[in-house]
A and B are shown apart, each in its own frame.
Chain A
Amino acid sequence: MVAEKYYIDKSQWESIARDWLKQHEIIAPQQETGGLFFQPVHRGNLHSVVYHLARSVQPLKTFLLPPLEEVVGHPVEMKKPWLFLGVKACDLQALPILAQAFGGDFADAAFQKRLQDSVIISCDCTEPWDTCFCTMVGGKPYPEKGYDLNLIRVSDGFVVEVGSLRGKGLLEGHESMLKDVLKEDKMNIEQSRSEIEKRVIAQNAKYPVKGILRELVGSRWESPAWSEHAKTCVECGACNHACPTCHCYFLDDVTRKAFVKLRGWDSCMYSGYAVTAGGGTPRPALVERFRNRYFCKFKYLPENYGQLGCTGCGRCIEGCQGQIDMRSTLKDLSGS
């Protein structure tokens, strides 16, 4: 009987992961120029998977909800089930939003299959980026739910937390490599989790925000902060495309070998986003579109799907050409 937590030696961990390669396509962060990128894993690069640090450059939607896909025609299919390795808490947080948005009465079966068939093996963050602010939006730099397995680095190996029956199944046949977690490791984990959380809190202390974000943003329809922070926006859409929860899309009917319908990532920052055939739009001014993005994240998505649309991953800050920092906007909203 598999218990909740195990210790696995790093070299033995890799032999288990090699075994999974037979049944899964493993996708995991690798260090590249410009940062950590989710990349396909094979026997040759398994050893260089980055388990520590913090979130990767791309969000998981890059795979689950491809930037451009035939939704009528040939949707993206997995040859083998995907196994995401090294997913951080802020990306796990985004998945329930995507699952709900593309579920329900008009569920996108291709997306749901990709999501349900994907194995999620997460990791604790060990080195938050300076753009990380999960603690400002109610998150933590380590996963609490939503994973099949969670890995925590300790000395020469990992403590593996089992989060689902599927996760438990992945360890079957490898029982000989699973060891009890040492009391000392348990204490170290608790301590390091608390330290890293404190670091995230400390690095965001310069963005004090009073009260509940949802209520704060919802009550600031009129605020000088909107035009102030929208000033340097160049409407590139990077904040949308890098965001793990943004999922607005356009549809485009085109003729390939047959008529197909494409779905592509859209951006609510684009001036043409909501333009109707007659030329009208509810948000002609950039500052209105800028404000709408915050309202979507902190008011509309919570009402639609029961959680904030922001997981504090900081990708919108990292990707912004205009150096717009959501934390700074929130701080100024709070002060205005």
Chain B
Amino acid sequence: MNPYASVKAKIEKIIPETSGIKTFVVRPEKPFSFKCGQFAELLVPGVGEGPFAPSSPYYQPELLEFTIQNAGYMTSRLHAMKEGDAVGVRGPYGNGFSLEQFHGHDVLLVIGGVGFPPARALLHGLLHDRNKFGRVIMCYGARSPEDIVYKYQIDDLKKKIEFSVTVDKANGSWNGNVGVVTTLIDKIKLDLAKTMAVVIGPPIMMKFGTLKLMETGFKPDKIILSMERKMYCGIGQCRHCMIDHYFICKDGPVFSYAQLQDLQDIWE
């Protein structure tokens, strides 16, 4: 098996999320079994690849969803593709979340921007086995109301979990929370002894999210982070994603803050 080769996949559906974000529903020729929090290298043939965590349920390996921001060369070409076009996937890579770790715990998700897709995969995992976990709480921050993804699912989500959302910058029609995502944490009553936190988002948000959780009284081993860096291979060879001696692609992307807190340069 060539570790650099992809499995062919077809774009079945494209769901526009925001002006710069789309969800691609992709059917690989072979089922793509993965754990939530693991990622795939999604290939635009002849153009490039990028590491993306499927946001779809892990128990649905035949149909994957990737929610992707138009942010660079490869993603701009992906955004120009149509339903029916061929892409490729290889993986799954990385360790993924350990759902067992959350058993018997309340789970607090602190999520920023396009950290929502991997968080959604985790939510699928938590909700699939709902009675194994305590409260599921999600604090989600987006830049503006227009940048909120999965709007069409949020009402449903609110019925299943404690969900709150805030935006950095509001506009006329927004009457919800305004402020960075960490401001939501203060509004929640937490039982710290039985709560685990998960932080996913852009580097700056992850930094302040984590520091806020520490300030709130979380122990470093109760803070779970899904890290991100430049990646080519996804398989622990090319070394672009290193944080200290850790390969984010292989040893991560999921780390506890206890693993990282003493290392240099962990926030980009």
Contacts and interface: CB of A to CB of B under 8 A. Distances in A.
Interface size class on chain A is 35 or more
Interface stretch (A28-36, A129-137, A248-256, A311-319): A248-256
Contact of A106 (B73, B235, B244): B235
B46 A255 contact: yes
A24 interface: no
A259 B45 CA distance: 6
Interface stretch (B2-10, B159-167, B171-179): B2-10
B240 interface: yes
Given A251-B49, A259-B45, A106 B3 contact: yes
A277 B50 contact: yes
Given A71-B4, A107-B3, A277-B75, A300 B242 contact: yes
A263 interface: yes
Interface size class on chain B is 35 or more
Contacts of A274: 229-230, 240-241
Contact of B228 (A255, A259, A261, A276): A276
Contact of B229 (A101, A253, A276, A295): A276
B3 A276 contact: no
Given A71-B2, A277-B71, A253 B44 contact: yes
Interface in A79-115: 101-102, 104-109
B263 to A, nearest CB: 10
B48 interface: yes
Contacts of B202: 278
B43 interface: yes
- Chain B interface mostly: loop
Contact of A251 (B232, B242, B264): B232
Interface string B207-237: 0000000000000000000001110110111
A275 interface: yes
B8 to A, nearest CB: 11
Interface of A: 71-72, 101-102, 104-109, 221, 247-255, 259, 261, 263, 266, 268, 273-278, 280-283, 288, 295-296, 299-300, 303-304
15 contacts: A72-B4, A72-B5, A72-B6, A106-B236, A106-B237, A108-B3, A253-B46, A263-B4, A266-B238, A276-B268, A277-B73, A282-B229, A299-B245, A300-B244, A303-B245
CB-based closest 8 A-B pairs = A277-B72, A106-B235, A303-B245, A106-B3, A277-B71, A255-B46, A71-B4, A300-B245
